[in-house]
Each structure stands twice: as C-alpha cells, then as structure tokens.
Amino acid sequence: MTVKTAIIIPARYASTRLPGKPLVKIAGRTMLERVVRIAEAAADGMEDVSVLVATDDDRISKHCEDIGVRSVMTRPECQSGTDRVAEAVRQMKEKPDFILNMQGDAPLTPPDFLREMHISFTSMPCDVVTPVTQLTWAQLDKLREDKKITPFSGTCAVFDQNTGAAFWFSKNIIPALRKEKDLRVAGDLSPVFRHIGLYGYSAKMLEIYNVLPEGRFEKLEGVEQLRVIENGYTIRCVPVDYKGRANMSGVDSPEDVSRAEELIAKHGELVR
C-alpha cells in the first residue's frame, strides 16, 4: 500500500531561551540542517515521501534554499508546531495521506524512528502514531531521581503490547510496579516506556486536532496527546530503540547546545 507522506519540520525563529534557534550551530552545522538531513535519511528508499520546512521567517526560508530543502511560509501567530504543520499542509497542492511532524529542535533523533512510525501507519492506518522506548532499570532509576527535582519532565505511556493502542500517557511514572524486586531479577528491561515527542498524523486527524476541545486530564497533566484519547480517537505507540545512540530531547537553551555537541563528540554523527 502506497501512502503519500510528508515529513514536515516546523521551524519558528523566535525563542525566549534561544533566539533564532533553527539557525544556531551545533558542531558546525545549523540545528535546522541537522534535522533536515535526519528527515531526508529517513525518507531515503521510502516511496512517495517528501520533506518540507514550515517557517515564519525569511532568514530561515533563505537558509532552506542554501541547504536545498523546500520551505513554506506560515503565520507567526501559529500557537504550536502542530498548528504550523497543519497550515503548511493546507498550502500543499497534492495533499499527503500521512504527515510526520519532525520536531525542528530535535537534532539527535535517529532516522529509523521516523521510518518505524511510517511503517506502522502504512501497514495499518490510524489517527496518530508516536514512538516510545522501553527503559532499562538503570534508566528508570534515573527518571525517578530526575522527577524529584523536575516532576513534570518525562512522560510515560501504557499501551496494548499487541496492537500498540495507547491506554494513557502521564507525567507520573506508570504503570506502578508491584514485586519490583522479582521483575528486576527477570531481566534488564523494566516494564516502563518513556514517550518520545514525535507524532505522525492521518490527514483527517491533523486537520481536526487543533479544534478538538482541550481534555480535562490533558489540562491537569499538561500532556497534549491526551486530547486525542479524551475525544475518542486513537493513538498507536510504536516501540523504538536508541541502540546505544545519543538520547536527548529538544535543544532549548545554550546549555542544551553544549550538551548536544558533547553527545555528538561521544557517539558520532547520526547522518553524514
């Protein structure tokens, strides 16, 4: 089954903690170029997949020309990256069936994460797909320690292990673990999965997502994907594995830039 797919990268110039974030250099290359190359590597060999940057600034548009990727201008007033992606899709002459929202500030995302999401959707279309990674016991211990300082960092997911259908997402660590000592003896992996902030949408879901009413638990938890579940739609969790590669979420500050450079120096480049 051929599914027309667009990998769209929202790239907003303004950022309180890191102004001009998409154009900030990380180990000699702009953050945006790194993200674009990851998206291109993910699309390589897949049928009918395009890569597009959705921006609000001429400086970013010019940079897109310099690095050889298409871009479209969107309104500066877009409230979120999802809004910006949806606006970009509305401008496309040939509408995609499936849209991967590739975060513009995630330059250490392995390309195979995007491919796994694409494979999951094309094999069985659904409303939303999103990746999760199973934590080792050491990673779970670290997450517990981190949450003592920043309790709303890191989101966990529980889902049907056979179908991937998400039951819930939470800023709490879920599921609760009885007889944890026995579970630790049984293997190196814990039963806890951490959510990775990437999303793939069906065309219909992307168009309606931002007009769905905010869910009660979405508001309480501050977890946007709960809006989908609370409004009766489905999210499929796609397990992925970092395989020892650098594990880092968004780059939002000068300190994050330094950390990303350290990880690249230690683990090497994701794509050349």
pLDDT digits (tens, 9 = 90+) for 209-251: 888 999 999 999 999 899 999 999 999 999 999 998 888 878 8
pTM of the model: 0.92
pLDDT per position as a tens digit, 22-50? 999 999 999 999 999 999 999 998 889 99
Gap between the Cα atoms of 204 and 223, Å rounded: 21
Is 32 inside any structural domain?
yes
Q: How confident is the model at residue 1 (pLDDT cuts 50, 70, 90)?
A: low
Nearest Cα to Cα of residue 36 among 72, 61, 69: 69
**Mean pLDDT, the chain, as a whole number?**
93
Helix (H, G, I), strand (E, B) or coil at 199: strand
Is 77 inside any structural domain?
yes
Phi, psi of 14 (to 5 degrees): -70, 140
DSSP symbols for 27-67 = TTEEHHHHHHHHHHHHHTT-TTEEEEEEES-HHHHHHHHHH
Is 265 inside any structural domain?
no
Residue 199 and residue 178 share a domain: yes
Q: Over range 103-124, report the average pLDDT.
A: 94
pLDDT per position as a tens digit, 143-176? 999 999 989 888 999 999 999 999 999 999 999 9
Q: Residue 23 corresponds to which tokens in the numbers above?
A: 């154009």
Is 74 inside any structural domain?
yes
Domain boundary among 106, 121, 156: 106
Gap between the Cα atoms of 23 and 207, Å rounded: 29
Q: Is the pLDDT of residue 75 over 80?
A: yes
Q: Is the pLDDT of residue 78 over 70?
A: yes
CATH code, domain with 18: 3.90.550.10
Q: Range of 89's domain?
A: 1-106
Number of domains in the chain: 2
Q: How many CA atoms lie within 13 A of 218 on its CB side?
A: 12
